[in-house]
Amino acid sequence: MSEWLPMVFVGLMGLSMLLYVVLDGYDLGVGILLRQADDAEKDVMIASIGPFWDANETWLVLGVGLLLVAFPAAHGVILGALYLPVVFMLVGLIVRGVAFDFRVKVHAEHKPFWNTAFHAGSLLAALSQGFMLGLYITGLEYNVVGVVFAIVIALCLVAGYTLLGAGWLIMKTEGDLRQRAIGWARRSLWFTGIGIVAVSLATPLVSPRIFEKWFALPNLFFLMPIPLLTGLLFMGCLRALVKLGKGDSRREWMPFVTTIGMFLLAFAGLAYSIFPYLVIDRMTLWDAAAAPESLKIMLFGAAITLPAILAYSAYSYRVFWGKTSELNY
């Protein structure tokens, strides 16, 4: 059982981070898009994420918490190398959290400032997360190649979050705002595709071991569905956006769902590439794991916490599903 416990916690941690990227990704995307909308549209956009955004960040807390308690050695290496971008991410999340509440309670002349703060906090958090991902893929090395790659991935992750946010707005809004969201999604789709391709190409080049896992036979044939399905989802998203732009109101959910599918496949490819390492080619999950006795105790806590968060999230999405109504307090 001691051999499987670290794998169980890696799975829980991976699930938490994936849910965070998808769920908080779309509300960060809405925040990034806020600057391009007029005042009335800003209120609708904020209302569309109002019941969900705070709970979405719970998955980040859970994922990082699991890394800390289950893999303390890897936590020290990873967060030690990513200290500055983590600080910037937290500043961004704090700023957008404060701005979310203040923008609806201040005098009218101060509201534009807090709208800008919400946009800036969302953008800073997204850029920081993309920068961390890029550095992690390149082995946590602050060299020229690693930093440039991390910057490219940061910009592409912003595009991915923007695509998720635009897809969310297509489902949740109507009229002119919905049409503008379709245009935002079409523009960000191409940059999201570039980011997925960049991560896919760079990850095997980081390590000969990862290159062998992907391109040795018969692995190459078994893994071929991942890029093929990603390409199909990309084309499906583009086709749905074209139809929606021409006035077809059916399948409004397609851009959002296909984007989630692309993120899911990219995450699966990255997880396959680095397994069983938590720090690429430096530290396996078994090397970094806490004592089996500690993991057993923490598993009981995770068995309570994870279903509770899932149940609350599912209930809140069920209650507040449908088109967004006017924001009011």
pLDDT for 328? 52
**Cα–Cα distances in angstroms (integers) from residue 319 to residues 51, 243, 312, 322, in the given order:** 9, 29, 11, 9
**Cα–Cα distances in angstroms (integers) from residue 166 to residues 44, 94, 99, 261, in the given order:** 13, 23, 21, 15
Tokens of 215: 């391109």
The pTM for the full model equals 0.91
pLDDT for 323? 78
* b/e 186-201 (16+ beta carbons within 10 angstroms → b): bebbebbbebbbbbbe
* Closest to 60 measured CA to CA, from 6, 125, 118, 123: 125
pLDDT for 90? 94
The C-alpha R_g of the chain, in whole angstroms, comes to 20
d(CA 268, CA 253): 22
pLDDT for 329? 44
pLDDT for 260? 94
* Closest to 172 measured CA to CA, from 38, 36, 46, 23: 46
Q: What share of the chain is helix, strand, coil (3-state, %, to 5)?
A: 80, 0, 15
pLDDT for 305? 86
**DSSP designation for 110:** G
| Upper half-sphere CA count for residue 174 (Cβ side, 13 Å) | 5
DSSP code per residue over 143-164: SHHHHHHHHHHHHHHHHHHHHH
> What φ, ψ does residue 2 adopt, rounded to 5°?
-65, -25
**DSSP designation for 278:** E
* Pair 261, 247: CB distance under 8 Å: no
pLDDT for 43? 85
d(CA 237, CA 98): 34
Task: Give pLDDT tens digits along the chain (329 positions).
Answer: 567 888 999 999 999 999 999 988 999 999 999 988 887 788 888 888 888 887 888 888 888 888 888 899 998 899 889 999 999 999 999 999 899 888 888 787 888 899 899 999 999 999 999 999 988 988 888 888 888 888 988 998 999 999 999 999 998 888 888 889 999 999 899 888 888 888 888 878 777 878 888 887 787 888 888 889 999 999 999 999 988 888 777 788 899 999 999 999 989 988 888 888 888 888 898 988 888 888 888 888 888 888 888 898 888 888 888 777 665 54
